[in-house]
Amino acid sequence: MLRAALYMRVSTVDQHPENQAHELRTFAKQRGYEIVREYVDHGVSGVKIRRPNLDRLLNDARRSPFEVVVWSCDRLARSTKHFLEVLDELNSLGIQFVSQREAIDTEGPLGRAIVVITSAIAELERSLIIERGRAGMRRAKLEGRRIGRAPLDVDRNAVVRDRLAGMSLTNVAKKYGLSRASVVRFVHEARNLGAVNASKPVDQRACA
């Protein structure tokens, strides 16, 4: 029975690596793998080269080789350069890399070539998405359109006066259709700009 390690990665803390783990455990069982360990990088972007559990996986593989199984190639790396570096190290250790979603592995030159092509296409797609976003922002600027949230159309002085007059933070926010954080920010900004009469003591609770 071949020994295998599962590697999972999710980009944000609200994502669940267990979704990948469940599929990989089933996949490993179907292929007759003995799962020796599972590695999870939680809340880590695929563009980062240094990842705690990926590094740990590579260190463990150097001491006791095993097959590396992932849900998809982009879980291992989003950069083709980084992806190739990891594949080269695994290859030098005689370790096979298997991606479930793409149904490919690095056994033999054809499998390796397919993995590299898949990674390159994924990186190209990501680059195109970023460039389209930048092009949209440039076009918006040229057309004079605002980028980002529109400024709040509210009488900031009135907000500050009501808050300093003793109105609760919640009531001020409701009255002007603001968030509590915005009310606090307006009061802080007014104080910093000297808009609040320095001769009048300011209730510190108004800024909390």
Mean pLDDT by 10 residues, the chain (208 residues): 88 78 92 92 67 87 88 78 78 83 69 68 74 81 66 81 92 89 89 58 49
Catalytic residue among 11, 72, 79, 182: 11
Query: Which pLDDT belongs to residue 14?
Result: 61
Query: Which pLDDT belongs to residue 152?
Result: 61
Q: How far is CA 68 from CA 4, 78, 93, 102, 140, in A?
A: 6, 17, 12, 14, 45
Asked if the structure places residue 144 within a domain, the reply is no
Residues 121 and 168 in one domain: no
Residues 120 and 18 in one domain: yes
Is residue 85 within 8 A of residue 50, CB to CB? The reply is: no
Q: What phi and psi, each to the nearest 5 degrees, are found at residue 152?
A: -70, 125
Structural domain boundaries, residue 199: 156-207
Query: Which pLDDT belongs to residue 147?
Result: 61
Question: What pTM, to 2 d.p., does this model score?
Answer: 0.51
Residues 110 and 163 in one domain: no
Asked if the structure places residue 133 within a domain, the reply is no
CA dist 66 and 6 (Å) reads 10
Q: What phi and psi, each to the nearest 5 degrees, are found at residue 98?
A: -130, 130
Asked if the structure places residue 47 within a domain, the reply is yes
Residues 183 and 112 in one domain: no
Domain count across the chain: 2
Asked if the structure places residue 164 within a domain, the reply is yes
At which of 77, 107, 126 does a domain end?
126
79 in catalytic set: no
Asked if the structure places residue 138 within a domain, the reply is no
Asked if the structure places residue 135 within a domain, the reply is no
At which of 126, 148, 170 does a domain end?
126
Query: Which pLDDT belongs to residue 172?
Result: 92
Asked if the structure places residue 136 within a domain, the reply is no
